Amino acid sequence: MRIQEGVEKSITLSSARLSYFERNAHLKTKGPTLLFVHATGFHARVWDKIINALGEHHSISLDQRGHGQSEKLKISHWDEVVSDTEEFIKELELKNLVAIGHSMGGHALIGAAASTPSKFKKIIAIDPVIPDPDSFQQQNSVLLEEIDNHPIAKRRDQFSSLEEMMERLKNKGSYGIFDPEIFEDYCRYGLIKNPDGPGYSLACPPEIEASVYSSSRTNAKIYESLKTLSFPVLIVRAKERDPSKETMDFSSSPTWKNLVNEFQNAREIYFPKNTHFLPMEIPEKITEIINTEISEL
């Protein structure tokens, strides 16, 4: 696989300073621009393996606020990640977008596209966090806890090295099913050197990740946004959630199973045996799906 060189950049928007990783800027006018937006707790570089396997395209992978190299701001309302994405697209004058978003990233892209539809060719929303609308009236207590008491806020965020982080996490939770290369990228680019001492901190601090989960049922207007989109949307959905499982269970999908029917022009690919972490678990399949969608333009 040819490793595509890229450049880390940043832009200061009205609401936040966002970092992003850009490849093949010279191809910006030669075809579609691929815009990748990650899930909660991840970062722009978790897409590296997939982007490298797609061939040469102009591509941008974004660090959402609070994540990666972007400004460390908590999220109090998911409209913030939508408006960040919208402003980012406008400020960089992006167009001809094939936009790929995972989880919260899919939610952000769908919301942003409602006000910038002319910028998009299509969206590939990989298990986007758009749940059954009834969930906005039936919020789970875990999601409503104060941030400091949220279980995610208590996770360890200090490591002496990349190797220590990898060793500690490799058998925890869903990390064991991650593609090895993507797992290493998740750890490598998910750490920031401590400026005043030894060791490293998580690039997405636990209290910021907790703020994302605590505010995850705040953007009910997303349902009106998705109805306005006329360009093609592909929903890639993981296995359905077991109602007996807790809300913070990531072995299944947070996506409303009827979501595909709410768009004007959408279809779905369903993976009934795979978890919410589809890009990390089956990157070759996700790469194949993206390649197919690009080839159909």
Domains along the chain with CATH numbers: 6-295 (3.40.50.1820)
* Helix, coil or strand: residue 226: helix
Average pLDDT over residues 190-199: 94
The Cα–Cα gap between 75 and 82 comes to 11
Q: Which amino acid is at 242?
A: D
Report the percentage of the chain scoring pLDDT > 90. Answer: 82
Packing angle, helices 104-113 and 79-91, rounded to 10: 60
Q: What does the mean pLDDT of the chain come to?
A: 93
Predicted confidence (pLDDT) per residue in 122-168, tens digit: 999 999 999 999 877 555 444 445 666 777 888 899 999 999 999 99
Which residues, including other chains, have CB under 8 Å from residue 137's CB and lie 6 or more apart? none
